[in-house]
Structure 1
């Protein structure tokens, strides 16, 4: 989750562009809640076989948790203008963690999947690292989306065309990057008043029946629809559907996901809470919890029969939430800051441009 999940080196995404750099408790709370849902969703994955209810909950969460992250990432990318300092943060906050964790996940899966010959490929994102690669590409194109007419319809058109193209390779997970693009572009278009709108009491109340109905629909859809549509990583043909399904499903899923994202944000508290500070470290929780999720299967944590009972699903949910919470805490962030947020001053040339001249060039 990248800069939308980072701390000091990512101030551009922890507060809206502007003179104030004070963190907004609402967005930190939203990021923490979303990262918990990400971890819980991964923990539920092995429990889906034989449990229609768990599968329905899994589909419901996947319908909005990543769209929520991408929308927030787009919102806090509005200030990206390609200046040297912005590009430096792009490298240290996205490229470096991507290289490190792509390598680490490959080595880890060599052991857990017993595939000692699995190659390390920086072009084929493994597991969670796809988001870092995608956000890197989205952010580089931010100035373009801020200048074209009708950016959201154009992004939706690209996403629909992607579902028609099974030939799109796995390089940088371009299929998923294109299919999630409309959410990022929407975030670029949002303003603070839009978030205040969904946080009204009326929306908060309406969110209860909306989520209840969404669960019922998900429960009905379990035997009738593949959850692969919510991953946004495959073409329609790869999902076993006619090509034209993708053209229809893309805007339909986009609309449904946005309704659920709005309901999710409506429930996010705007005041400072015990978990607010953890919102600054969700990149750590995002990238690190994947090792626990992968290792849990290898270590046989899901083997006992009671784990697949209702009580077991509750325990798994609580454990996943606790683990990802711990991974977002300040001690973990301090220990791994050199990996997640390296300074790397040695890599970049010192900018000798006068500040005033630089600002004038940007305005021009």
Structure 2
């Protein structure tokens, strides 16, 4: 999930779920003095690439379905069901791939080039788009007030920087949950750097830091998959029942409960309940993610591209009233919107698109950083002779 949203430094940067390959016969040979030790080749785990691709598909579908919620109860139920867990799943997987983040030079470099630079570029571009397409030349340009989906990059940056802290705490999850509750009951917390969402989704990221591969393996059993089906059906049924009156902004964690018309004490309950519900649905989703290689597996390495680029098209659909056609609100039209969203995000995660936009999504920026090869040579030259 970014470079992809879920890779370390990053959802975002190693783009992989690396599994160390077995060393060959020559691996035991000691390298000459001064020669950098070569790491054994790594291969990607198709399960996690599949999970990242399918998660970004849900993100695209959720954004595409939003206008349809004004015209149909079933569409609203689908929207609520997906929004109940798709960003929590994103945050959890991002946390899982951030476990190795230790503030080392390589990690910091990837954090800057894989999260900070894309955020600066795309947040500026989106703000200019809003000015032009929205015919609002006075719209302020503020990098501290992320627009639309850009909040996740800000959150990912903050979460990654604090990863060593969460890994060192003995009771990290209760503390993260307490911060999420604090955000829910604090109307004056402010909107800068999307702090409400940063704290609201923090427990999922911290939980991902604590998970191991074997935890995901326990979900991929026939029994869990069979149990997941009635759970998801029940969740959709509950969403369908509450669709006419439920406030979907509770799922965004973008504001306090008092700003949504609820008493402050309600945040003490809504936050843990939404967390548990999202966790159950995320487990159901991960249980059905295929573990072997599929045609879309390679697309899991390009989720950052899909995440950043699809926002332009989503916003264009709002600015130019693409949804002003009554047939889109029919069952056939809703299926058509879903198919277009899936096709669009698939193309945006593909190799050709990544090649075109790599200079802004995964810039090398070697001019800004010390070359690691030169640094290694200097360290070798400074080392005392053996």
Please list every run of 5 or more consecutive structure 2 residues that lacks an aligned counterpart in the other structure. Answer: 21-39, 381-386
> 1:198 & 1:7 partners in 2: Cα distance?
21
Give the match's secondary structure for 1:317: helix
> 2:225 & 2:15 partners in 1: Cα distance?
25
1:253 pairs, out of 274, 278, 282, with 274
1:52 pairs, out of 69, 73, 78, with 73
Match of 2:306 in 1: 285
Q: Is 2:150 the counterpart of 1:129?
A: yes
> Within 5 A, what are the aligned runs for 1:64-83?
64-83=85-104
> 2:6 & 2:360 partners in 1: Cα distance?
12
Match of 1:63 in 2: 84
Q: Is 2:122 the counterpart of 1:104?
A: no
Structure with the higher helix share, 1 or 2: 1
Structure 1 residues 121 and 155: alpha-carbon distance in aligned structure 2, compared to 1, 3 A threshold: same
Give the match's secondary structure for 1:22: strand
> Within 5 A, what are the aligned runs for 1:41-190?
41-190=62-211
**Greater mean alpha carbon deviation, residues 266-275 or residues 222-231:** 222-231
Spell out, residue by residue over 1:225-284, the C-alpha distance to the aligned partner (whole angstroms, 9 max, x if none): 201111011101111100111110111111010000000011110110100011110111
> 2:186 & 2:275 partners in 1: Cα distance?
19
Q: Give the TM-score of the pair, scaled to structure 1.
A: 0.94
Q: Is 2:283 the counterpart of 1:262?
A: yes
Contact 1:175 1:234 survives alignment (8 Å): yes
> 1:16 & 1:179 partners in 2: Cα distance?
29
> Within 5 A, what are the aligned runs for 1:193-212?
193-212=214-233
> 1:3 & 1:176 partners in 2: Cα distance?
22
Contact 1:4 1:73 survives alignment (8 Å): no
Q: Is 2:234 the counterpart of 1:232?
A: no
Spell out, residue by residue over 1:98-124, the C-alpha distance to the aligned partner (whole angstroms, 9 max, x if none): 000000111111123221211211100
Spell out, residue by residue over 1:27-86, the C-alpha distance to the aligned partner (whole angstroms, 9 max, x if none): 111111111111111111111113111111100000111111110000000000000110
Contact 2:4 2:13 survives alignment (8 Å): no
**Greater mean alpha carbon deviation, residues 106-115 or residues 38-47:** 106-115
Q: CA RMSD for the aligned pairs?
A: 2.1
Structure 1 residues 348 and 90: alpha-carbon distance in aligned structure 2, compared to 1, 3 A threshold: same
Q: Is 2:19 the counterpart of 1:14?
A: no
Aligned length, in residue pairs = 358
Structure 1 residues 20 and 215: alpha-carbon distance in aligned structure 2, compared to 1, 3 A threshold: farther
**Greater mean alpha carbon deviation, residues 17-26 or residues 169-178:** 17-26
> 1:177 & 1:36 partners in 2: Cα distance?
22
Match of 2:37 in 1: none
Once the two structures are TM-superposed, the CA of residue 20 in structure 1 deviates from its matched residue by 6.0
Please list every run of 5 or more consecutive structure 1 residues that lacks an aligned counterpart in the other structure. Answer: 359-364
Spell out, residue by residue over 1:182-226, the C-alpha distance to the aligned partner (whole angstroms, 9 max, x if none): 000000000111000111111111111010000011111112320
> 2:163 & 2:41 partners in 1: Cα distance?
22
Once the two structures are TM-superposed, the CA of residue 350 in structure 1 deviates from its matched residue by 4.3
Q: Is 2:313 the counterpart of 1:317?
A: no
Q: Is 2:324 the counterpart of 1:303?
A: yes
Name which one, 1 or 2, has greater alpha-carbon Rg: 2
Match of 2:34 in 1: none
> 2:327 & 2:13 partners in 1: Cα distance?
45
Match of 1:5 in 2: 5
Once the two structures are TM-superposed, the CA of residue 138 in structure 1 deviates from its matched residue by 0.1
> 1:17 & 1:120 partners in 2: Cα distance?
42
Once the two structures are TM-superposed, the CA of residue 16 in structure 1 deviates from its matched residue by 5.2
Contact 2:68 2:75 survives alignment (8 Å): yes
Spell out, residue by residue over 1:119-157, the C-alpha distance to the aligned partner (whole angstroms, 9 max, x if none): 211100011111111000000000000111110011001
Contact 1:82 1:140 survives alignment (8 Å): yes
Match of 1:214 in 2: 235
